[in-house]
Amino acid sequence: MKVSTRVEYGMLALTDIAMYAANGTSVSAPDIAEREGISQKYLEQILTHLKQAGLIRAQKGLRGGYTLSRPADRISIADVLNALDKSILDPQNTSGDRNERSLRNAVNAGLWEKMNGFLNGFAANKTLAEFVQECRNQMSGEWDYYMI
């Protein structure tokens, strides 16, 4: 599956904010950009999309930055994807007469529509909090690799 850099970096930025903004502290764009290797100028554009979607809040001032606008367990991955690129979770265009028995309709119904349904279900039911915990688990060494 291919997604745009806006979606990829937006997920990184939101996950970074969820992980590093604790107890009301905010995370600055320069800090996110440095940690995640994203151009700060491009990151600011992405953060604007997330802010307009109501997922983050900007705080101005000396200790300014970004925080989540609501708890991470009330933000679904679908909310994030739709804020960054509405076309990802849109139903696939499976044009054609639904009653016509053709290989194209069979493939569309049997594969593409089902895959899109699984993606929509996953994104709607996975919260940012769950995703952040999975990231923390992976980063903490839960996935050890052994070389022989």
Going from N- to C-terminal start, the domains of the chain cover 5-142
Question: What average pLDDT does range 115-119 have in this prediction?
Answer: 91
Are residues 29 and 47 in contact, defined by beta-carbon separation less than 8 angstroms?
Answer: yes
- How far apart CA 107 and CA 51 sit, in angstroms, is 39
- Residue written as token pair 């609501």: 70
pLDDT at 143 exceeding the cut of 70? no
Question: What average pLDDT does range 28-45 have in this prediction?
Answer: 96
Cα distances (Å, whole numbers) of residue 68 to 3, 20, 51? 23, 11, 9
User: Which residues, other chains included, contact 26 with Cβ-Cβ below 8 Å and sequence gap of 6+?
Assistant: 59, 63, 64, 65, 66, 67
- Residue written as token pair 């909310």: 79
The token pair that represents 75 in the structure block: 């933000």
pLDDT at 9 exceeding the cut of 60? yes
Report the pLDDT value the prediction gives residue 2, as an integer from 0 to 100: 79
Are residues 73 and 127 in contact, defined by beta-carbon separation less than 8 angstroms?
Answer: yes
Q: What is the mean pLDDT of the chain?
A: 89
- How far apart CA 14 and CA 78 sit, in angstroms, is 13
- How far apart CA 81 and CA 75 sit, in angstroms, is 11
Predicted structure pTM score: 0.83
pLDDT at 112 exceeding the cut of 90? no
CATH number of 5-142: 1.10.10.10
